[in-house]
């Protein structure tokens, strides 16, 4: 099979402000998922398994920490002599210089470099979603329908107002698009995975830049332009997909991984590859009681853990109880602490006191071990099955 000349752009520069203090000092793509992996592992593993070897990482917020983690692409076999991983932080000294003001603006700032690379197609994806997808299947759809743009879509059963909502007609043609429409529910939405015919993308960016002066997010100008001027089709993802941009969705997905309701982390034909450091195996002490949980490498458990994810190098002391919660790396839960429906920030030490968390709310415990945010359950948004 001929592998097309596809350039993949992974948009990994956002601040992730909806995740509150979790992303205050680290880029969202480096947040843990399932205890052992990080969000950027998802995009890069899908690309590697799809045999797409030309990958540009578009960075902006806290790029140093992200670059330390991705290690020149080595864990995903992207540290190559020909092709491989290229990091594209903000720059000065040419067209497109400065900081991007949205995901479409990020593409504009790479326009000259993309033209010089001369791809046949450009694959654009985000670094904060959980899914499995062979991007060459998307390319097949793109090719068969002669598309200028193929958008990967999925059905959203609940609240769809945070996404681009589409209607799909005959021959997979996308007939309408609304960007984050208020009150939208039970709709087909974009997964923020877009495959563009390269020349069509370059022409569109130039036309819009001349017309508007600057672009913002893809849903504001770029996608409407393609719908009006070009052939746009849908490729159905056909499996689990979650946008991990909010506290509730981030917490939900981690618990769904435990229950087997998200992607399968054990697929031998499609493993998640990671740059996580090696640790000793997790240790369960004589007083430990653990049920339906992920316990990551380097962790020590002497207390009770139920339906929770315990991150790398965490310690749960005897007499502590963690239930329906997500502990990020290096968390210490002292004796007498009871956590329910919590996310605990990396390195936090949670000391004895009143119970944290409770029914009907996701509680974020910050780096200092105190409650940082309480978010009531949004019943229209995804929720896990709780213990």
Q: What is the model's pLDDT at position 1?
A: 59
User: What is the C-alpha to C-alpha distance for residues 34 and 386, in angstroms, rounded to an integer?
Assistant: 16
Domain boundaries, the chain: 6-245, 266-376
pLDDT the model gives residue 190: 97
Q: Is the pLDDT of residue 332 over 90?
A: yes
In this structure, whether the domain defined by 266-376 belongs to CATH 3.40.50.10310 is answered with no
Helix (H, G, I), strand (E, B) or coil at 154: strand
Query: Across the strands, what pairs with 54?
Result: 84
Cβ atoms of 120 and 5 within 8 Å: the answer is yes
Q: What is the pLDDT averaged over residues 96-118?
A: 90
CA–CA distance from 41 to each of 30, 130, 139, 241 (Å)?
Answer: 9, 10, 22, 15
Question: What CATH code is assigned to 6-245?
Answer: 3.90.550.10
199-211 per-position pLDDT tens digit: 999 999 999 999 9
Q: From residue 191, give the alpha-carbon distance in Å to each of 150, 227, 382.
A: 11, 17, 15
Give the model confidence (pLDDT) of 29-57 as tens digits: 999 999 999 999 999 999 999 999 999 99
pLDDT at 335 over 90: yes
Collect all residues with Cβ–Cβ distance below 8 Å to 131 and sequence separation of at least 6: 42, 46, 191, 237, 239, 240, 241, 242, 263
Q: What is the 3 state secondary structure string of 272-301?
A: CCCCCCCCCCCEECCCCEEECCEECCCCEE
Query: For 155-165, how does the pLDDT look when each residue is reduced to its tens digit (9 = 90+)?
Result: 998 888 889 99
Confidence of residue 92 (pLDDT cuts 50, 70, 90): confident
Would strands 174-179 and 164-168 be described as parallel, antiparallel, or unpaired? antiparallel
Identify the band that residue 214 occupies on the pLDDT scale cut at 50, 70 and 90: confident
Percent of residues, the chain, with pLDDT higher than 90: 77
Residue 138 pLDDT > 90: yes
pLDDT band at 64 (very low <50, low <70, confident <90, very high): confident
What's the distance, CA 206 to chain centroid?
A: 29
Residue 308, token pair as written in the block: 């929770």
pLDDT tens digits, residue range 311-320?
Answer: 999 999 999 9
CB contact set of 143 (below 8 Å; sequence gap of 6+): none
Strand ranges of the sheet holding 361-365, from the earlier edge strand across to the other edge? 294-295, 309-310, 326-327, 342-344, 361-365, 371-376
Q: What is the pLDDT of residues 127-136, one digit of tens each?
A: 999 999 999 9
Q: In Å, what is the CA distance from 128 to each residue of 37, 40, 42, 51, 229?
A: 13, 7, 8, 21, 30
Contacts of residue 140, Cβ cutoff 8 Å, sequence gap at least 6:
none
* CA atoms within 13 A of residue 365's CA, in its CB half-sphere: 28
């Amino acid at each position: 099979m001929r592998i097309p000349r596809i350039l993949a752009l992974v948009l990994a520069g956002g601040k992730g402000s909806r995740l509150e203090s979790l992303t205050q000092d680290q880029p969202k793509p480096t947040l843990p998922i399932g205890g052992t992996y990080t969000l950027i592992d998802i995009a890069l593993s899908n690309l590697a398994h799809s045999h797409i070897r030309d990958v540009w990482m578009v960075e902006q917020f806290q790029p140093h920490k992200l670059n330390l983690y991705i290690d020149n692409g080595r864990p995903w076999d992207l540290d190559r002599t020909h092709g491989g991983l290229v990091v594209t932080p903000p720059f000065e000294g040419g067209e497109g210089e400065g900081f991007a003001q949205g995901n479409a603006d990020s593409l504009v700032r790479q326009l000259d470099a993309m033209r010089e690379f001369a791809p046949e197609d450009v694959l654009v994806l985000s670094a904060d979603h959980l899914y499995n997808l062979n991007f060459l299947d998307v390319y097949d759809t793109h090719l068969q329908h002669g598309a200028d743009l193929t958008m990967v879509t999925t059905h959203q059963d609940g609240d769809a107002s945070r996404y681009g909502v589409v209607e799909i007609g005959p021959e997979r043609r996308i007939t309408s698009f609304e960007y984050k429409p208020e009150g939208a529910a039970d709709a087909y939405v974009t997964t923020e995975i877009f495959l563009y015919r390269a020349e069509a993308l370059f022409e569109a960016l130039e036309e819009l830049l001349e017309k508007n002066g600057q672009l913002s997010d893809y849903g504001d100008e770029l996608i409407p332009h393609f719908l009006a001027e070009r052939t746009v089709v849908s490729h159905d993802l056909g499996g689990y997909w979650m946008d991990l941009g909010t506290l509730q969705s981030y917490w939900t997905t981690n618990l769904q991984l435990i229950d087997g309701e998200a992607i399968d982390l054990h697929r031998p034909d499609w493993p998640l590859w990671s740059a996580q450091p090696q640790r000793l195996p997790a240790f369960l002490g004589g007083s430990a009681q653990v049920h339906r949980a992920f316990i990551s490498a380097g962790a020590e458990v002497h207390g009770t853990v139920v339906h929770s994810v315990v991150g790398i190098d965490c310690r749960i002391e005897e007499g502590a109880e963690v239930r329906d919660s997500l502990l990020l790396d290096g968390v210490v839960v002292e004796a007498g602490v009871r956590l329910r429906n919590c996310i605990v920030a990396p390195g936090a030490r949670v000391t004895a006191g009143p119970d944290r968390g409770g029914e009907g709310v996701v509680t974020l415990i910050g780096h200092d071990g105190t409650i940082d945010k309480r978010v009531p359950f949004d019943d229209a948004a995804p929720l896990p099955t709780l213990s």
